[in-house]
C-alpha cells in the first residue's frame, strides 16, 4: 500500500497486511505520518515539557441534574 506523509509529503510503501495499513484503509479519517516526522514531533514535545512552558489544558465537565 502506498501512503504519503501529511507533513512532508514523502511517499512510503506499507505492507498490505500490517495493522497500520488496515487502519488507514478502513478509517479514512486516520492519516499517515512518516517515522522521521513522528520522531521530530516527539523530541520537540519532550523538550517543551522539560522546559516547563508546556501546559496541558483540562476541561471540567459539569453534570446536569436534569
DSSP symbol at 47: H
Is 64 within a domain? no
Q: Measured in Å, how far apart are the chain's first and last C-alpha atoms?
A: 50
What pLDDT is attached to residue 65? 66
Q: The cell 511517499 sits on which residue?
A: 11
Q: How many domains does the chain have?
A: 1
Q: What is the pLDDT of residues 10-60, one digit of tens each?
A: 998 989 999 989 988 888 788 899 999 999 999 998 998 899 877 777 777
In a domain, 56, yes or no: no
Is residue 61 in a domain?
Answer: no
66 pLDDT above the threshold of 70:
no
Judge whether 65 lies within some domain: no
> Residue 66 falls within a domain, yes or no?
no
Residue numbers of the domain that contains 39: 2-51
Residue 60 lies in a domain: no
User: Residue 32's CB: how many other CB atoms inside 10 A?
Assistant: 20
Amino acid at each position: 500500500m502506498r501512503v504519503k506523509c501529511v507533513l512532508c509529503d514523502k511517499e512510503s510503501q506499507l505492507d498490505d497486511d500490517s495493522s497500520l495499513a488496515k487502519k488507514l484503509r478502513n478509517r479514512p479519517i486516520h492519516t499517515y505520518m512518516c517515522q522521521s516526522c513522528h520522531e521530530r514531533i516527539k523530541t520537540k514535545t519532550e523538550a517543551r515539557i522539560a522546559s516547563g512552558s508546556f501546559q496541558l489544558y483540562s476541561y471540567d465537565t459539569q453534570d446536569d441534574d436534569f
